[in-house]
Amino acid sequence: MEEGLHILVEKPIGLTIKATKAIIEAADRAGRIAATAENVRRGVPQRTAKWIFSENKLIGSPRLFHAIHCSYQPPTIPGREPAWHWRVEKVYSGGGIALDSGAHFCDTLRYLFGEVRQVSATVRKLQPLLFKKDDQLIVDEREDTWMAILEFESGLIGFWSYTTAAPAHSFTQVVYYGTEGALVDVGDVFHGPFANALIQRMDGRVRRLSDIARDYRQHLGEEGWHRLFPYDISETFTLECYDFLDAIQKGRQPEVTARDGLMAKAIAIAIYESSTLGHTVRVDDVIRGEVEVYQKPLNERWGL
């Protein structure tokens, strides 16, 4: 950026909160654009869900949600350890899947429901895994389990849980409840809502989210639709890059700035901080740097 370049940085944009702030500050000093490479919210299903929750009110006002995944990854077989990669060690990755794929879900939650006020969480490593790095065996430092309660400024509450340490019975369930019905998702706990999700109302009516997307397009009109999906592009990575390049060309901010990336990743970081401290933490305190017990050794390692 000091050389005049704009940047599009892969989520979760920086190792820690301090790292993300350093990126933002550098962009501000240079007068450059710093965008977060976040694609999920740009999908037709996600845009449609936003409309349902905030304007259409097909299932009433958002009230609560749960997103739960349970599966099983067996322990490492001695002599058959997979090759090491950078995500294995927190000093390079910042954390596990709660921060990695979790950054997508945190951004989508902000997009759909607004800011998270506080987080109460427990994070664990229940199943030891080893990776081979040259002649060394490296312990996988990433969590395989977390359970988190998210409380939003709006009053909405959510339960987000994930584990790969649950043998014999695997399942995934993601449901968003409004005051008059529910959006029952059909995919994972990171990248939804998906097109095949079902909208179930208290009066018994059931519709697919993909069907309601047609109503959404009609509501927007062709001009509004093409503002979100230029040239009828619906592939989200393409839309992410288009938005970044269009922002540079027109001298505007992209939809998902580095600051947006900071706000989303702070939710995931708050999960780690809450578990480390053993109590509820406010997301604003994490953003301000008043809570950074989990992050402290990472910041020290990189001189932040």
Provide the β-strand partners of residue 78. none
pTM of whole model > 0.95?
A: yes
Mean pLDDT calculated for residue range 126-154: 96
pLDDT in tens, 161-207: 999 999 999 999 999 999 999 999 999 999 999 999 999 999 999 99
Number of separate helices (H) and strands (E) present in the chain: 9, 13
What's domain 7-301's architecture?
2-Layer Sandwich (3.30)
pLDDT in tens, 191-203: 999 999 999 999 9
Give the percent of the chain with pLDDT over 70: 100
Confidence at residue 59, expressed as pLDDT on a 0 to 100 scale: 98
Confidence at residue 302, expressed as pLDDT on a 0 to 100 scale: 96
Confidence at residue 32, expressed as pLDDT on a 0 to 100 scale: 97
Mean pLDDT calculated for residue range 2-13: 94
CA angle 37, 42, 48 (to 5 degrees): 160
Could you tell me the end-to-end alpha-carbon distance of the chain, in angstroms, rounded to an integer?
Answer: 19
State the chain's mean pLDDT as an integer.
97
Provide the β-strand partners of residue 160. 67, 148
For CA atoms 185, 190, 195, 196, give the dihedral sign: negative
Q: Is 11 within 8 Å of 103 (Cβ atoms)? A: yes
* Cα 20 from Cα 15, distance rounded (Å): 7
Show the beta-strand stretches assigned E in the chain: 7-10, 34-37, 62-70, 116-124, 130-133, 136-139, 145-152, 157-163, 171-178, 181-184, 198-201, 206-208, 281-282
Mean pLDDT calculated for residue range 286-304: 97
Mean pLDDT calculated for residue range 141-152: 98
Provide the β-strand partners of residue 64. 157, 177
pLDDT in tens, 18-66: 999 999 999 999 999 999 999 999 999 999 999 999 999 999 999 999 9
State the DSSP string of 157-217: EEEEEEESB--S--EEEEEEEESSEEEE--S-SSS---TT-EEEETTS-EEEHHHHHHHHH
How is the chain split into domains, by residue range? 7-301
